[in-house]
Amino acid sequence: MDDPFTEPADTREAILGAAFRALCEHGYADLTIKRIGEAFEKSPSLVYHHYDGKDGLLVDLLEYLLERFETAVSEDAFDLPPRARLDAYVAAMTDPGGVDDEYAPDGRFLVAMVELRAQAATDEAYREHFDRSDRVFRRFLERSVREAAAEPVANAETSPERNDDVDPAAVAATLQTLATGAMLRWATTTDREWTVAVREEASRYLSRTLPAVDPDA
């Protein structure tokens, strides 16, 4: 993931940028407001002035990143046909560090995201954020599945499996849960064999559920 804070528009964005860099460098457990202040280009005291503690700052960072994603979706920044959008989602979930895409988080950020998400097990503010975040991604996926299901089939005669009983909400929930699991496995295990297996099987699943469209249709 590229640093989304290269040109901060205001003090909040500059502080969130410092928090983002410090989080990627130190990880959640070793992160302190002091370290965020050290990553901040202006006076560290400004950080204390705006935020009471690291968790309030980190939840604000998560909200900011989610709003950026929502803006990108609403502005159709994902300039891909719906099925290709889903393929890209599957590719990113199984190779989070290898995708050359602004929205594909790199390894250290992904590890930090897992640490932050684990806070939601016991912290209400994080939990509210991840409930909201899951809803935003669900809507994005559900819309993509619905659009892909509405497209004409490449070859209706040889694709008998394509049918009208695709349940966009169920397909979206499954892809989202699979991606959440891939994120957790990626951040907490050394083995990487499963990533190839999951990518292949998820692609097979998508091809059965939402066969590719006829480009000439």
**Stretch of 14-22, 58-66, 73-81, 191-199 contacting its own copies, by CB under 8 A:** 191-199
**30, 103, 116, 123 from 119: Cα distances, Å:** 14, 23, 5, 6
**What is the DSSP secondary structure assignment for residue 215, as one 8-state letter?**
T
Determine the straight-line distance between the first and last CA of the chain, rounded to whole angstroms: 36
Per rule CB under 8 A, is residue 19 in the interface with its own copies? no
Instruction: Give how many residues touch its own copies by CB under 8 A.
Output: 51
Smallest gap, in angstroms, from Cβ of residue 40 to its own copies?
Answer: 24
Residue 107 is encoded by which pair of tokens? 């390894």
Residue 21 CA to residue 7 CA, distance in Å, equals 14
Tell me how far, at minimum, the Cβ of 36 lies from its own copies, in Å. 18
Instruction: List beta partners, residue 153.
Output: 213
Candidates 2, 101, 102, 201; binder of its own copies (CB under 8 A) is 201
Which parts of 40-59 interact with its own copies (CB under 8 A)? none
- Binding status of residue 174 toward its own copies by CB under 8 A: yes
Q: Which is nearer to its own copies, 57 or 187 (CB)?
A: 187
Q: Which is nearer to its own copies, 160 or 215 (CB)?
A: 160
In eight-state DSSP terms, residue 177 is: H
Q: Which stretch binds its own copies (CB under 8 A): 17-25, 37-45, 65-73, 126-134?
A: 126-134
Q: Rounded CA gap, 111 and 87, in Å?
A: 23
